Amino acid sequence: MIAPSDLIGPITDDDIEWARRVLKLQALDAPRRAFLKSLTTLDVSACPGSGKTTLVVAKLAILARKWKSTTRGICVLSHTNVAREEIAHRLGNTDVGQRLLGYPHFIDTIHGFVNRFLATPWLLSAGYRVAAIDNDLTTRVRRRHLSPGDYFTLNGYLEKKFISFDSLRLGSANFATPLVNTSFPSGAHTKMYQLAASALQHAAEQGYFCYDEIFLLGEALLAQQPSLPSILQNRFPFVLVDEMQDTSEQQNAFLRRLFPRDVPAVCIQRVGDPNQAIFEGGVKPVADAFPDNIRCVNIADSFRFDASIGALATPFAYIPVQPSGLKGVRPTAVAGQGLPHTIFVFPDNDTSGVLDAFGHHVLATLPASLIASSAVTAVGAVHKPFPDVEPGHKQYPKTAAHYWAGYQPGADRPTYRPRTLAENFLAAQVLASSGGPLHQCVDSVASAIVHLANLLAGTTQIRSSSRQHVQVEKRLANADEARAVYRGLLTRFVIGREPLTEALWAQLCPVLRMLGAALAGGDANAPTANDFMAWPTTEPPALPADLNRAQSVPANSYRYIYGNTSVDIRLSSIHMAKGQTHSATLVLETFNQMHFLHGLMPWLVGQHQNGAKCASDKAMQRLLQAYVAMTRPTHLLCLALRSSSLGTKKDIATNTEKLMARGWQIQHLAPRAAADESADISGGKED
């Protein structure tokens, strides 16, 4: 079999300079050049802000430019399509970019690869169709197969066993026995088992599957075709796995079977950062663990931040950053001096002054041009609402939502969809009241009504669209009554923002169901829409009391105003912030088994370094999340710490000195009642 190097030829300094010119890259150091030139199996451990994605695109551009085969290609796998999107953005108008995005090369997610080359071929060869690979659609088909009474009985039984119906998965590619090899809580002779098996069997035979069931179907093909790995290795002699730290052990095992790293005829290069493994349970001892310290290139210098942030974040790397910690290479000074990275120490039961203090610090520290052009963010390890946890509770503050009541988890995601139709209406009202674009509010409600229509129809009759309102209007062109209802709803609740109450919602539900059925031809009374039509169980978002303050404020952004200046502080979870770059980042104290930053005090004061002292998986997760959060900012890093975390009265001075010695400034926040009497700053209102 021809080695990968024979399909490419040596990569020279001239090739690297060509890539630098095309992609407008700055000078590349020895580790980066070593990766670009390598045509053998190796790992790349790249720190945050090291330009990893751009480096991967440069490597792929060089490979595509020199690639000799027209039938064998480069395979790029990841968890997202960031690499493909970056190639399209940076190289889309070039011959090299077009080559990369077409045959014989393949750039997609790991799920996409298994679906295309294993799962779909097995399904078609077995006589099944492929309708959808989608968790929501598949669960909907499974529910609809059962009668309302049977579903209610089965769901109630599962909830008593602390299992959700939505979490049921195939255990066998023999769809007649779908629950074999699963831990279903009752035996095959029971009614509950038979109901669940019937629902899973029906959906599978109709071609509906959940995302993680793709691997089960892939295993079925591998069992039938044991020579398939060698066929795929011949088809893809060069494999690059991006964001390797987020690969689960199931996915890693699958990749090992298809593309073993000890096969000379295949070059397997894995790129990632093990210290950012916050999605798959952390850094664990798995077979063929990443990174391979024997065959590894380490990139430890970051263009994102300066040496001061690098020094503060280095102790929080679970795996020590080689060779000697993070190296921030961004110029150190703003206005000729280093920046004051600050810990805001707040009273345990009063978070009300934290965002204002951070906003004031940002305005006083960073240039207005920088604030206007980049994100200022406050992130927490926990961000979902916990209305039962109030000041005085031992877990307070438990969530990012405890720092600002206006926070709505997930509302700033491009793919965000509130859990219920009522929440869609309420969110649109909040956006409209805060000065958001009216067309966006209308399209948001239209999209939710389309989702209702698809639920009532049992299948996706109406596809998502960037102009969902126009699509709804077209479908109702010949349905005068339904169109009048639709327009009336928009006028009352989006344009007029009529208050929506639980009692009013109960009156509207039959009308909305009629509208949804008219859109997609479904059953207006179909139980598949019951959950989506329910009134939200959590407190609905409040409309802004001061519309001037909220004017044009982005979703989940707290606006701090001081004099004639202001800054929007975007609240988010640490998981959502991964991969982002901020000008200033505030890490918020939250609670999960223990307070997040409190549990990291030994690392903050210099008592511990890296992961050697992590006594549990939860401690490891805290360290990984802290590392991710602390490596987001380009200029200013801040923390919000409960006052009790500094210890007893005799320990406060000692711990404060240790924190300051490590580069932190300390600012103590007074309780809000006292601060309101004397402070010369005000958050969220004009002075």
| Tens of pLDDT, residues 69-128 | 999 999 999 887 777 778 888 887 788 888 888 899 999 889 889 999 999 999 999 999
- Is 49 within any annotated ligand binding site? yes
Last residue of a domain, one of 182, 209, 236: 209
Give the whole-angstrom CA distance, residue 45 versus residue 227. Answer: 32
- Is 51 within any annotated ligand binding site? yes
Q: Is 648 helix (H, G, I), strand (E, B) or coil?
A: coil
User: For residue 334, what pLDDT is reported?
Assistant: 57
- Is 53 within any annotated ligand binding site? yes
Model confidence pLDDT, tens digit, residues 621-671: 999 999 999 999 999 999 999 999 999 888 899 999 999 999 999 999 988
Q: Mean pLDDT over residues 19-23, rounded?
A: 92
CATH of residue 614's domain is: 3.40.50
Cβ contacts of residue 97 below 8 Å, gap of 6+?
Answer: 61, 87, 88, 90, 91
- Is 24 within any annotated ligand binding site? no
Task: Note whether 362 and 486 are same-domain residues.
Answer: no
Model confidence pLDDT, tens digit, residues 520-567: 888 888 887 888 899 987 555 554 444 334 445 677 889 999 988 999
| Domain coverage including residue 453 | 421-533
- Is 50 within any annotated ligand binding site? yes
CATH of residue 292's domain is: 3.40.50.300
Task: Note whether 205 and 235 are same-domain residues.
Answer: no
Task: Note whether 325 and 398 are same-domain residues.
Answer: yes
Q: Mean pLDDT over residues 48-55, rounded?
A: 92
Task: Note whether 59 and 186 are same-domain residues.
Answer: no
Share of the chain above pLDDT 90, in %: 59
Axis crossing angle, helix 438-457 with helix 421-433, rounded to the nearest 10: 180
Does 543 reside within a domain?
A: no
Task: Note whether 559 and 674 are same-domain residues.
Answer: yes
| More confident: 418 or 677 | 418
Closest CA to 629 of 410, 330, 379: 379
Omega into 260 within 30° of 0, i.e. cis? no
Task: Note whether 290 and 203 are same-domain residues.
Answer: no
Tell me which amino acid residue 652 is: I
* Most confident by average pLDDT, 86-100, 205-219, 246-260: 205-219
| More confident: 221 or 97 | 221
Omega into 387 within 30° of 0, i.e. cis? no
User: For residue 551, what pLDDT is reported?
Assistant: 46
Does 258 reside within a domain?
A: yes
Residue pair 400/378 in contact (Cβ under 8 Å)? The answer is: yes
User: For residue 280, what pLDDT is reported?
Assistant: 64
* Residue 678: band (very low, low, confident or very high) from pLDDT cuts 50, 70, 90: very low
User: For residue 337, what pLDDT is reported?
Assistant: 61
* Residue 414: band (very low, low, confident or very high) from pLDDT cuts 50, 70, 90: very low
Task: Note whether 292 and 311 are same-domain residues.
Answer: no
Helix (H) or strand (E) holding 630: helix 617-630
Task: Note whether 641 and 558 are same-domain residues.
Answer: yes
Does 216 reside within a domain?
A: no
Does 15 reside within a domain?
A: yes
- Is 27 within any annotated ligand binding site? no
Q: Mean pLDDT over residues 405-433, rounded?
A: 75
Dihedral sign from CA coordinates of 370, 374, 377, 381:
negative
- Is 75 within any annotated ligand binding site? no
Statement: residue 1 has pLDDT above 70: no
Mean pLDDT of the chain: 87
| More confident: 438 or 606 | 606
Does 94 reside within a domain?
A: yes
Q: What is the pTM of this model?
A: 0.77
- Is 73 within any annotated ligand binding site? no
Cβ contacts of residue 249 below 8 Å, gap of 6+?
Answer: 280, 284, 286
Dihedral sign from CA coordinates of 9, 10, 14, 20:
positive
Helix (H) or strand (E) holding 10: none
User: For residue 90, what pLDDT is reported?
Assistant: 81
Model confidence pLDDT, tens digit, residues 268-314: 999 999 999 887 656 665 567 888 888 999 999 999 999 999 999 99
Statement: residue 682 has pLDDT above 60: no
Q: Mean pLDDT over residues 329-345, rounded?
A: 79
Model confidence pLDDT, tens digit, residues 479-522: 888 999 999 999 999 888 899 899 999 999 999 999 999 998 88
Task: Note whether 154 and 281 are same-domain residues.
Answer: no
Task: Note whether 598 and 668 are same-domain residues.
Answer: yes
Task: Note whether 609 and 669 are same-domain residues.
Answer: yes
Model confidence pLDDT, tens digit, residues 136-184: 889 989 999 999 999 999 999 999 999 999 999 999 999 999 999 999 9
Does 122 reside within a domain?
A: no
Does 601 reside within a domain?
A: yes
Model confidence pLDDT, tens digit, residues 392-402: 999 999 999 99
Does 352 reside within a domain?
A: yes
* Residue 680: band (very low, low, confident or very high) from pLDDT cuts 50, 70, 90: very low
Within 10 angstroms of residue 378's Cβ, the number of other Cβ atoms is 28
Residue pair 51/31 in contact (Cβ under 8 Å)? The answer is: no
User: For residue 70, what pLDDT is reported?
Assistant: 92
Total domains in the chain come to 4
User: For residue 236, what pLDDT is reported?
Assistant: 96
Q: What is the torsion angle, in degrees rounded to the nearest 10, for the CA atoms of residue 449, residue 452, residue 457 and residue 460?
A: 80
Task: Note whether 558 and 670 are same-domain residues.
Answer: yes
* Residue 687: band (very low, low, confident or very high) from pLDDT cuts 50, 70, 90: very low
